[in-house]
Structure 1
Amino acid sequence: MDPMRWFFILITAAILHACSSKPVIPAADRSITPLKAASSQPSDSSNLLQWGGVIIETRNLRETTEIQILAYPLDEDGHPDTDANTIGRFIAQQPGYLETVEYAVGRLVTATGKLSEVRQGQVADSPYPFPILDCDEITLWPEHKSRPKPRIRFGFGASSGGGGFGSIGISF
């Protein structure tokens, strides 16, 4: 095969790889929401559940990291739909250390794991039951930075200019 063909294939592959910014999310049960789990802990806690939302707080403990998440429904790609109504709060628990700068307040995550317990906690001054999800995987979604939109303007004009001279202008 000639070198130009290999070059074209490599460039095409690199461009396609650069354009794919969606993480791959494993399949899991999304039918049980954090609110349902908190009100009546399912008897079968061996099912993989998948919840996602916005990070409220990240805490590194001695052996695990706990991420408190305000949950939203997930779309078909597993991305939290923050335009929908919230479906509760939960704590994603991951063994080891997760960098709190990366898992910062306001970032979007999708967590996959098994429900281990429902722990009583506080939201402001109110008691709140937090379902605890022992995570096999936590997907941190890329931050979307707003880019300025290109501004393209077209204009046409004509004028007489007084003393018999006319002008036409074109601008872009």
Structure 2
Amino acid sequence: MPRGLWLALAALWLGGCVNLPDELRYEPESALQSYGAVSQHPDAAKGQPVRWSGVIAANRVLVSQTELEVVLLPLKANGIPQQQEHSEGRFLVHLPGLLDPTLYAPGRSVTVLGTVAGEVAGKIGEQPYRFVLVQGTAHKLWPQVKDVEVRYVNACFEPLWPGPRPRPLP
């Protein structure tokens, strides 16, 4: 078979392995609004569907819902926020019920599905900030990423057999 056909088949096969969790699916995908478009005109986007992700910056437990302040990060194909050093901004999401603030702690990654509810004035530290407010209908709190220590071993200097290393010849 031609090489291009093999590459296309491999891409399709690997693409099937990267799926969005069911709770974050929305049809039609083309109806989902981008943060950039909504942040320019949040009142005009009221009621429009969004699927945004990021890192939790703060949480507040309200009477019948939980409010998360999220630093926006782009979505990977599987719905997980892509870690990077730049963000387009922040948004607030209201999710029904009590979400334990210890689990939904600052620094955790989250993806939310919901509708734009408008704009809310707030602050980041002492700076005034206009947050886009999302009324969440579904969300996914992603597992924490554990730091992994990676050690590289140069095989040229390691013996291929167990036991003591041979002594060099004089």
> Could you say if the C-alpha distance between residues 150 and 125 of structure 1 is closer, same or farther in structure 2, counting changes exceeding 3 Å?
closer
Shift of 1:151: 5.7
Separation in structure 2 between the aligned mates of residue 81 and residue 160 of structure 1, nearest angstrom: 54
The TM-score with structure 1 as length reference comes to 0.71
Are the equivalent residues in 1 in contact too, given 2:74–2:82 (CA < 8 A)?
yes
The one-letter amino acid paired with 2:107 is G
1:22-44 Cα offsets, whole Å, 9 max, x none, are 760313555421x5423312525
Separation in structure 2 between the aligned mates of residue 53 and residue 63 of structure 1, nearest angstrom: 23
1:82 maps to what in 2?
A: 83
Matched, 1:149 2:150: yes
Alignment of 1:24-63 (within 5 A): 24=21, 25-27=24-26, 28=29, 29-33=31-35, 35-41=36-42, 43-63=44-64
Greater strand share, structure number: 1
Are the equivalent residues in 2 in contact too, given 1:73–1:87 (CA < 8 A)?
no
1:117 maps to what in 2?
A: 118
SS of equivalent to 2:136: strand
**Quick check: which has more Rg, 1 or 2?**
1
After superposition, the CA RMSD in angstroms is 2.5
1:160 maps to what in 2?
A: 169
Instruction: Number of aligned residue pairs: give it.
Output: 141
Percent identity over the alignment is 24
Matched, 1:70 2:68: no
> Could you say if the C-alpha distance between residues 44 and 131 of structure 1 is closer, same or farther in structure 2, counting changes exceeding 3 Å?
closer
The one-letter amino acid paired with 2:125 is A
SS of equivalent to 1:38: helix
2:6 maps to what in 1?
A: none
Shift of 1:84: 5.8
1:135 maps to what in 2?
A: 136
Unaligned runs of 5+ in 1: 1-19, 162-172
The one-letter amino acid paired with 1:50 is R
SS of equivalent to 1:160: coil
Unaligned runs of 5+ in 2: 1-16, 160-165
The one-letter amino acid paired with 1:63 is S
The one-letter amino acid paired with 2:54 is G
The TM-score with structure 2 as length reference comes to 0.71
Matched, 1:94 2:92: no
> Could you say if the C-alpha distance between residues 44 and 120 of structure 1 is closer, same or farther in structure 2, counting changes exceeding 3 Å?
closer
